[in-house]
Structure 1
Amino acid sequence: MDKKPPFRILSEINKTSCLLRDRFNDDFKFIYCNNSLICEEIYSYLSFIAPEKTNIIKYYKENTPIFKKYGIEKQIQIYLGKNVPLPNGAYLVIEHTEALHVIDVNSGMSNHMGKNCTESERIDYILKINLMAATEIARQLILRDMGGIIVVDFIDMYEPIQRKKLYEHLKDEMKNDKAKHQILPPNKFGLVQFTRHRVRPELKVKNHNKYQKINSYVDYIHHLEFIIDTIKKNKGIQLHIHPFVSSFLKKGFPSIQQKWFFKYKRWIKIIPNDSFGYTEYKITNKNNDMISSSFIF
């Protein structure tokens, strides 16, 4: 070498190539990018690792911001907030402390399960929710890059065989996590303890104080839309909700209720209920059978 130190002999590849290196697989159908230079970087890297896939790169040049076009902003608000919804009304509550992270799994329907389900159905339903939650938790750990000690409070399961099924399912879901981690089996209280090595600073959504109240309303509407999207195949959907929220969803033209009609091809009947809190709701079908119920933000 004819160069004198200090000079660079090796460096990390750029962030775009790092992302492709760590995440790219056969599941990728399209890659949309609104920056021509980054498009060239993607093309160059894919030409090296997967030349047959270079045709999936699409340059985005529409006037609508790319995050808005593909609903990325809404997904960030939903999936990086404190409350993470699961299908059919279940949800996770993710809390961060100095010493550890705590994740609580809630069915969202606990007030109704006792009278609407037999004991056998209730046990199967709880296992189903816990398995669903385990899948989302594994995704959240990677998405947020949560590290250190993580304690998950699953819904109580008293049958050892069910706890074993949950543990095996959780280990399978965590196989895609490249960070070093360890999972302990669920104890009799339904608690699962993790240790996970963080790869980068944890990803969080920051809300400025003057917008925090507004964002909570936006998150709440996004949550309702998420639930409606998962149950839209039901006929005669009825949303029972606080009168103030009912008025908010119906006001203006087009109202949120009307926008839902065009979006989901279903008319969502909104029924005010004075006994509900502002963030409480119940969704029923045309036979008045409950499909989903609320949680408190």
Structure 2
Amino acid sequence: MKTVKKQLLMNKSGDEVQVALVEDGRLAEVFIERPESTRNVGDIYLGRVQKVVEGLQAAFIDIGHSSDGFLHFSDVGTTNEDYRALLGEDTDDDDDDDSDTDTDSDSDSDSDTDADASSDDESNPPSQEATKSSSRSRGRRGHDNNTQNASGEDAAGEKRNRRMSYTQMIASKLKPNDSILVQVIKEPISNKGARLTSDITIAGRFMVLLPFGSGHLAISKRIVNRRERRRLKGIVRSILPKGFGAIVRTVAEEQDELLLKTDLEKLLAKWKQIEETVKDAKPPKLIFKEDTMISSVLRDSLTEDVTELVTNSQHIYKETLTFVRWAAPEMEKRVSHYKGKLPLFESYGIAKDVESIFSRKVWLKSGGYLIIEHTEAMVVIDVNSGRYAAKREQEENSLKTNLEAAKEISRQLRLRDIGGIIVVDFIDLLDEKNARKVYDTMKTEFRRDRAKSNILPMSEFGLMQITRERIRPSLMQRMGDECPACGGSGVVQARHTTIHQINRWLRKYALNGNHAFERLDLYVSQTVAQPLFQDAMNPQWKWFLQHLLFVNVKTDDSLRSDDFRFYLSKNHSDVTTEYADL
């Protein structure tokens, strides 16, 4: 892949901070932080166990948020390797590098902390479970198919028993009202609480500290030079305190030992501060707050291919300069304080790209366009050929539009920080080779994305399924408000439908009880009141003649076009719902 020219633009406007990552002149990622929507991933809390649900293999932890956090049993007090070993599952070891697990540390700190670390001690004997498994394997040789099937069923049964045993073991550890130290690994989404883990990690510039790592050491698999891997492992092992573990990140490659030692000392100082705070804390309480957004972005995005770091804030400029002088002093000249007359993003030509994040329609250069729709379960993207459709032979036209769409979809998912399940409806292609080209293009474009993803080939219906790691709600969910008119659906109920509902309500009210000559106040939105009084007969006279009720119509701008409220005039009590379901 060719080298991409990158720029980091940091804009401060009032209380809002925006950081844009620009690749080859186009906006690739944007991070926005406001006082009311600060980042939670990486924060450490002393929580209180509220409820343990063995059926879900999870516990709900009170960390002081509006919704309890979700702690899965696999994230409780054990590394992923221990968990998989207990279930008899395999892990991948790097035999040529002294069994240190490879881990992809080129992603952001949120992904780094999820990386697995395997034991650095090669002298450990095989576990009893592994020995039993090997014995069972040898014993099955030469048996007939029935015996093999029976053995397979026995193995599956034993695995289920081990899983149940693990569940019961964790459930016995967690009791309601117990205190537990947990870390946020996924931010709350909608009405779901934060995803938590008790395997605490603290991310630094060159490594991630595992306070409960028990000597586990992992090296980024993007560091491919074996000599460099051995050097880094030797350095980290020599300075890592007993009982701690570490994950060495990609940016540590070719770095001086003193820098690595300084980074580790900073991480150990943070952990010592956490230990001191926990001693006197009562749950629920925030124990440790992750670095500021600026520090996090610099820590995770500052690489050699970043050619420019620009900010319009004196405070951010000083913070950036301090970080660069320590982490990458050779890049100090690339840091600048912007003082131009135009806004920073306007000056670099990305202001419109930032505004387009909230648009559901994205135009392609060829004349086609994308429609991006958010639903509760997934995000659906529809590819349309637009005005480009009739200009060339259909298959060639469809392929060109789909290839362009694949590149733009990859960019939009990063830009909008969309995670979860994504389904793309491409334009139908008759040739399977063309469908394969679209799939290969999508996979190539996703290599730039730091979030973990999985892409399936295009189906016969022209659908491509993608899953992308979701650490926090999408940018639109965090920065946007639900439409008060439609409730986020994009469609409002027809005004005449609301008027028919009002007529039905009055009919039910008149038929249920002795309400003759009662006075009611009807509140509706201005958009409903307008057609209501356009009928040939005044609605108040019509309702009196039909139901012997005096109805006084009033407008309320806080009501949506599909809503109305009835009140008794004598005491102003709301009777709307009382007769709505009769």
Q: Name the residue aligned to 1:35.
A: 313
Give yes or no for the alignment of 1:73 onto 2:351: yes
Contact 1:145 1:199 in 2 (8 A): no
CA distance in 1, matches of 2:482, 2:380: 24
Cα drift, residue 16 of structure 1 = 0.9
Give yes or no for the alignment of 1:154 onto 2:432: no
CA distance in 2, matches of 1:190, 1:84: 20
Contact 2:406 2:441 in 1 (8 A): yes
- Aligned match for 2:387, one of 95, 106, 109: 109
Contact 1:90 1:129 in 2 (8 A): yes
Unaligned stretches of 5+ residues in structure 2: 1-271, 485-582
Give yes or no for the alignment of 1:17 onto 2:292: no
Letter in 2 for 1:33: T
CA distance in 1, matches of 2:414, 2:443: 14
RMSD over aligned Cα, in angstroms?
A: 2.7
Contact 1:105 1:130 in 2 (8 A): yes
> Secondary structure of 1:58's match?
strand
Q: Name the residue aligned to 1:144.
A: 416
Q: Which has the higher strand share?
A: 2
CA distance in 2, matches of 1:29, 1:79: 25
> Secondary structure of 1:194's match?
strand
Counting aligned pairs with the same residue, the percent is 41
Give yes or no for the alignment of 1:194 onto 2:472: no
Give yes or no for the alignment of 1:59 onto 2:331: no
CA distance in 2, matches of 1:133, 1:24: 29
Give yes or no for the alignment of 1:89 onto 2:363: no
> Secondary structure of 1:89's match?
coil
Q: Name the residue aligned to 2:77.
A: none
- When Rg is computed on C-alpha atoms for both structures, the one with the higher figure is 2
Q: 1:194-236 CA distances to partner (integer Å, 9 max, x unpaired)?
A: 12221222111637979xxxxxxxxxxxxxxxxxxxxxxxxxx
Contact 1:152 1:192 in 2 (8 A): yes
CA distance in 1, matches of 2:366, 2:459: 26
Letter in 2 for 1:144: R
Q: Name the residue aligned to 1:176.
A: 448
- Aligned match for 2:480, one of 206, 214, 218: 206
Q: 1:238-268 CA distances to partner (integer Å, 9 max, x unpaired)?
A: xxxxxxxxxxxxxxxxxxxxxxxxxxxxxxx
Quick check: 153-162 or 15-24, which moved more? 15-24
Q: Provide closer, same or farther for how the CA distance between residues 37 and 189 of structure 1 changes in structure 2, counting only shifts above 3 A.
A: same
Q: 1:232-271 alignment to 2 at 5 Å?
A: none
CA distance in 1, matches of 2:379, 2:426: 14
Letter in 2 for 1:75: D
Q: Report the count of equivalent residues.
A: 204
> Secondary structure of 1:99's match?
coil
Letter in 2 for 1:206: G
Letter in 1 for 2:433: I
Cα drift, residue 79 of structure 1 = 4.3
Cα drift, residue 101 of structure 1 = 0.5
Cα drift, residue 69 of structure 1 = 3.1
CA distance in 1, matches of 2:287, 2:474: 30
Q: Name the residue aligned to 1:47.
A: 325
> Secondary structure of 2:331's match?
helix
> Secondary structure of 1:139's match?
helix
> Secondary structure of 2:475's match?
coil
Contact 1:33 1:60 in 2 (8 A): yes
Cα drift, residue 185 of structure 1 = 0.8
CA distance in 1, matches of 2:302, 2:364: 26
Q: Provide closer, same or farther for how the CA distance between residues 161 and 60 of structure 1 changes in structure 2, counting only shifts above 3 A.
A: same
Q: Provide closer, same or farther for how the CA distance between residues 183 and 6 of structure 1 changes in structure 2, counting only shifts above 3 A.
A: farther
CA distance in 2, matches of 1:209, 1:187: 35
CA distance in 1, matches of 2:316, 2:440: 40
TM-score, normalising length from structure 1?
0.61
Contact 2:310 2:336 in 1 (8 A): yes
Cα drift, residue 150 of structure 1 = 0.7
Contact 1:158 1:188 in 2 (8 A): no
TM-score, normalising length from structure 2?
0.32
Cα drift, residue 43 of structure 1 = 1.4
> Secondary structure of 1:137's match?
helix
Letter in 1 for 2:338: Y
Q: Name the residue aligned to 1:130.
A: 402
Cα drift, residue 38 of structure 1 = 0.7
Q: Which has the higher helix share?
A: 1
> Secondary structure of 2:443's match?
helix
Letter in 2 for 1:202: S
Letter in 2 for 1:177: D
CA distance in 2, matches of 1:183, 1:209: 32
Q: Provide closer, same or farther for how the CA distance between residues 34 and 105 of structure 1 changes in structure 2, counting only shifts above 3 A.
A: same
Cα drift, residue 151 of structure 1 = 0.4
Contact 1:84 1:93 in 2 (8 A): yes
Quick check: 134-143 or 41-50, which moved more? 41-50
> Secondary structure of 1:176's match?
coil
> Secondary structure of 1:30's match?
strand
